[in-house]
Amino acid sequence: MAGRGRRRNRVAGPGQRTRIALVGRAPRSRVRSARATASPALRRRWSLVGATSAPCRDDDHDDAAARRGNRRHARGTSRVYRQLAGSQRLAGALALRRKRLDLSSGESVVSLDPPHRRKNLLTGEWVLVSPQRMNRPWQGERKSTAAAARASHDPDCYLCPGNLRSGGQHNPAYDAVFTFANDFPALEARETSPVEPGGFFQEMPARGEARVICYSPDHSATLAGMEDPQRRAVIEEWCRLSAELGARWDHVQIFENKGAMMGASSPHPHGQVWASDYVPTLVEREDACQRKADGSLLANVIAAEDEASERIVASNAHWQAVVPHWAAWPFEVLLIARDDVRRLEELTYDARDALAAILGRVLTAYDRLFLTDFPYSMGWHGAPHALGEDCAHWRLHAHFYPPLLRSAEIRKHMVGFELLAETQRDLTPEAAAERLRRLM
Ligand SMILES: [Zn+2]
Ligand SMILES: [Zn+2]
């Protein structure tokens, strides 16, 4: 009992303090691997009382000894977990936790999950998960934040049909999806003077082009609020741009910043595409992780998430939307193609129809979460076009990174420990997925 691996985790609920001890001598890595192979039901119970992994001892198989230690043992798996808290007090804390799990109620959340780290399989980075921090008191939990009604045309909006853009051009009177070259592009197609090689500091030339995609002539529209055929038209444009720009650039990054909180320069529904003559850092990292995986990494993720089911937000024949096991943002969603496609332009028409439908469901749930026009950054990751046909390890997917944590006003900030050490989150991905599912 007094072994090296003994850890204590205090969990405080209002008016009471329950102490839970995690016992064992196994290193954390073994705990993690045991967690990964445990059944979903066992993992859920585990997360409530803590878990450890240790070599089986004889008394682990002794029913009487197990009863004395209030220990439940999964025979043959070398997994032991022990609940040392008073059962009544623990039950009370669990009931409180269940009662307070509803984030939109504005109440705080009580969690008994101990801190742990999860690995992002797409980047290789670790994320610190600290669910017990959801127990701390919060102020200003929630305000009524129903999206303010916007006019369908804003004479001051530089993206509305017919209006003057800041670059000096007038938009045409477009009546569908409209794409134009960004007036202030981050990348330019023109040749630049070569960078002198050598030296201590490194730099390289960067060329490309950037465009803006207006999803609709309607200033008040959103991807979430559109009908499927309108969303389908946006998807068609994404696919067209990926093919057109991918024919001459190494990577095509399609993305959307929605909401002032995420730096969107206009509330008009729009996204962007930046194509570059190099593969950007994060895409390169995802390429490396998928390339070294055993089989298709994201096909394996789909299979594992289908089996676990607790992190799936929405699903259809062509797509799986999941809060990934390693999610860094509170309500992050990974949308993965079930078909073996590597780039947007490879999607069949059926898959594009199914994408319009699942996008509508996920984005509507986002808006319902805090009764607000939910801000996010989202973007597509397909195989970089620089890879040509050498991309069997890739699977098309989109990331959604919404910043909101507890209300339309309370957002997550990537600061402090996260800037200096490692990404950290409080709410577990499982709880976030459950919350989103309930809003479908
Ligand atoms: Zn507008
Ligand atoms: Zn990705």
Least confident of 5-19, 276-290, 342-356: 5-19
Distance of CA 98 to the CA centre of its chain: 24
Q: Tell me how far apart the terminal alpha carbons of the chain are, to the nearest angstrom.
A: 46
From 268, 270, 393, 399, active-site residue: 270
Residue 163: both structure tokens together:
């209006």
Ligand 1 mean position, distance from CA 412 (Å)? 28
Say which ligand is closest to the CA of 268.
1
Give the pLDDT score at 264: 80
Ligand 1 mean position, distance from CA 216 (Å)? 9
User: Shortest CA distance to 78 belongs to which of 47, 45, 42, 112?
Assistant: 42
pLDDT digit string (tens) for 328-340? Answer: 999 999 999 999 9
Ligand 1 mean position, distance from CA 327 (Å)? 33
Q: How confident is the model at residue 410 (pLDDT cuts 50, 70, 90)?
A: confident
Better-predicted residue by pLDDT, 94 or 208: 208
Ligand 2 mean position, distance from CA 283 (Å)? 7
Ligand 1 mean position, distance from CA 398 (Å)? 25
pLDDT digit string (tens) for 189-233? Answer: 998 777 777 788 888 999 999 999 999 999 999 999 999 999 999
User: Shortest CA distance to 209 belongs to which of 251, 270, 264?
Assistant: 251
Give ion ligand 1 contacts, CB < 5 A.
154, 157, 159-160, 219, 268
Say what the pTM is.
0.76
pLDDT digit string (tens) for 412-440? Answer: 888 899 999 999 998 999 999 999 999 99
- Domain 178-190+206-437 annotated CATH 3.30.428.10: yes
Percent of the chain surpassing pLDDT 90: 60
Mean pLDDT of 104-123: 73
List of E strands, 23-159: 52-53, 71-74, 79-82, 116-119, 126-129
Does 170 qualify as catalytic in the annotation? no
Range 39-48 contact pairs with CB under 8 angstroms and sequence separation of 24 or more: 40/307, 40/308, 40/309, 40/310, 42/74, 42/79, 44/310, 45/81, 46/81, 47/112, 47/113, 47/428, 48/94, 48/112, 48/113
Mean pLDDT of 365-370: 94
Say which ligand is closest to the CA of 324.
2
Give the span between the Cα atoms of 174 and 159, in whole angstroms: 10
User: Domain residue spans in the chain?
Assistant: 7-99, 178-190+206-437
Q: Specify the 3-state DSSP secondary structure of 87.
A: helix
Q: How many CB atoms lie within 10 A of CB 78?
A: 15
Give the pLDDT score at 26: 36
Give the pLDDT score at 352: 98
Residue 240: both structure tokens together:
């067209």
Ligand 1 mean position, distance from CA 274 (Å)? 21
Q: How confident is the model at residue 90 (pLDDT cuts 50, 70, 90)?
A: very low
Give the pLDDT score at 56: 32
Give exposure, 115-153, as e/b (b: 16+ Cβ within 10 Å): ebebebbbbeeebbbbbbebbeeeeeebeeeeeeebeee
Ligand 2 mean position, distance from CA 336 (Å)? 9
Residue 155: both structure tokens together:
């004479």
Ligand 2 mean position, distance from CA 337 (Å)? 12
Which H or E element spans position 30? helix 28-37
